[in-house]
Structure 1
Amino acid sequence: MSALQCWEYGTVMAAKSLREGSAAPGPVPEGLIRIYSMRFCPYAQRSRLVLVAKGIQHETINVNLINKPEWFLEKAPLGLVPVLETEKGQVIYESLITCDYLDESYPGKKLTPEDPYEKAKQKMLLEHFSTVVTLLYKVFHARKTGEDLAVPEAAFREQLLKFEQLVPGDTQFLGGDSVSMVDYMIWPWFERLAPFSMGEYLNDAPKLKKWVEAMMDDPAVKELLTSPEDHKGFMELYMARDPECADFGL
């Protein structure tokens, strides 16, 4: 496989991830921004959704996060994705920061509200949702270790229903009648509920269930959607710390 097969332009999924011992990619091509990603990472998916939603021409390079290339750690001190790199060699990392950067730096529809109060409301909703994410990973961990699932699943369910109470019932999306930043920041974890039979909790959360249905029709979500089977296959390998998990399905 040639080096060029390890990344792609636009939004077509890249081929296999780069890992330890791989050659560092060259400069970012003119007119593009580069994102270092991993096909199944929900945090990287946040940035990829923004790139697609705003129609930003970009280059994607997938990185194996279990077997990281040495050069990646030089670019990304935290060793995590997403990471953006500009034509000027500027590097931006952390998912929320990269998304804000993209929204502020590129033309087209602004995903973040201009009104300070509306912007604050979205950030507060994200803060509440971070607790849901924490408990979801506790469920995944319990499944990995074979621990009793009753306690973490009950805690996850309780927090999800608390979050449901914060969801506006008079708009189609979380921030209004059109998709905005908060929708893309939260979506990746709902995409990951179905493979583990956890989507049933949405039956008790009608506002969130309606929101999920609306998000499934969003062009950016549809373009980047990963099948439940692939999500499940990845997670099973990831829980076993198999370095091939990043390339599941390729």
Structure 2
Amino acid sequence: MTLPILYSLRNCPYAMRARIAIYRSSVPIELRDIVLKNKPKEMLLASPKGTVPTLVLPSGKVVDESLDVMLWALNTNDPYGLLGANKEQLHNMLTLIHRFDHEFKQALEQYKCAKRYHEANIEQCREKCELYIQEIEQRLNKGNYLINTEESLADIAILPFIRQFARVERQWYLQSPYPNLKKWLKHYLQSAMFTKVMAKYPLWKLSSEPVIFSGSK
């Protein structure tokens, strides 16, 4: 049986959320861990864009946007109902994800740069991020997850970027007034799912034994 192939980078947030969705879907794929400074020619032939994640399906079709990889996995199999009960719920999730992918991610990159280069405006950069962090905190006042009482596509799509935010100024984050967000993030980071998704594999090469990656239910 020919499996879909996922080219992935362990700590890339986009690749991370693709792996989480695949894990939750229980759809088996062949995982190929790479480094961006030495991209395999097989990956570049499939997608000259050369970004991760890149999913190559047995049909030859290539999916090289992380959210599209997530939707492919969960449309193939969604045992936990992460896509919601109807089109309206999915639309609400995608709207929230879009804002975080574009607005929050931009603010987060500015915050990370301010910390890395010891810039004087780090507090202002953090406050821009906090506008979105406060929204998550308020959403989590109503339940354990972002959309309703159950985990959804929105939770696993936004998770890797909140993880990055929490790591920029670790001591500030630990003392920050966001108990719901900290509980939500800790729940994920200490889960068996996250351990599996973040497992370290040897970098892929043509002679490598296939690494089969899948969740289970």
Q: What TM-score does the superposition give when structure 2 sets the normalisation length?
A: 0.78
* Inter-CA distance 60–225: structure 2 relative to 1 (3 Å threshold): closer
Using the TM superposition, give the Cα deviation of residue 194 of structure 1 relative to its aligned residue in structure 2, in angstroms. 4.1
Alpha-carbon separation, structure 1, partners of 2:197 and 2:39: 24
Matched letter for residue 55 of structure 2: L
1:157 to 109, 119, 130: 130
Find the residue that maps to 1:84 and give its secondary structure: strand
Alpha-carbon separation, structure 1, partners of 2:135 and 2:89: 21
Alpha-carbon separation, structure 2, partners of 1:164 and 1:128: 16
Name stretches of at least 5 consecutive residues in structure 1 with no aligned partner.
Answer: 1-29, 228-250
Find the residue that maps to 1:35 and give its secondary structure: strand
2:115 to 129, 143, 161: 143
Task: Answer yes or no: is 1:79 the counterpart of 2:53.
Answer: no
Matched letter for residue 220 of structure 1: M
1:207 to 180, 186, 211: 180
Matched letter for residue 86 of structure 2: D
Name stretches of at least 5 consecutive residues in structure 2 with no aligned partner.
Answer: 201-217
Q: How many residues align?
A: 197
The question of whether the paired residues in 1 share the 8 Å contact of 2:8 and 2:32 is answered with: yes
Alpha-carbon separation, structure 2, partners of 1:207 and 1:150: 22
The question of whether the paired residues in 2 share the 8 Å contact of 1:44 and 1:82 is answered with: yes
* Inter-CA distance 218–111: structure 2 relative to 1 (3 Å threshold): farther
Partner of 2:105: 133
Q: Over aligned residues, Cα RMSD in angstroms?
A: 2.6
The question of whether the paired residues in 2 share the 8 Å contact of 1:36 and 1:61 is answered with: yes
Partner of 2:157: 185
Task: Answer yes or no: is 1:49 the counterpart of 2:12.
Answer: no
* Inter-CA distance 198–226: structure 2 relative to 1 (3 Å threshold): farther
Larger relative CO (CA 8 A, sep 6+): 1 or 2? 2
Alpha-carbon separation, structure 2, partners of 1:65 and 1:211: 31
Matched letter for residue 143 of structure 1: K
Q: What TM-score does the superposition give when structure 1 sets the normalisation length?
A: 0.68
Matched letter for residue 152 of structure 1: C
Instruction: Note the alpha carbon deviations across 1:108-165, whole angstroms, 9 max, x for none.
Output: 3332013122112212221332322211111222233343223322322344224434
Partner of 1:223: 196
Alpha-carbon separation, structure 1, partners of 2:37 and 2:171: 28
Matched letter for residue 206 of structure 1: P
Moved over 4 A (4+): none
Alpha-carbon separation, structure 1, partners of 2:95 and 2:80: 22
Residue identity over aligned pairs, in percent, reads 24
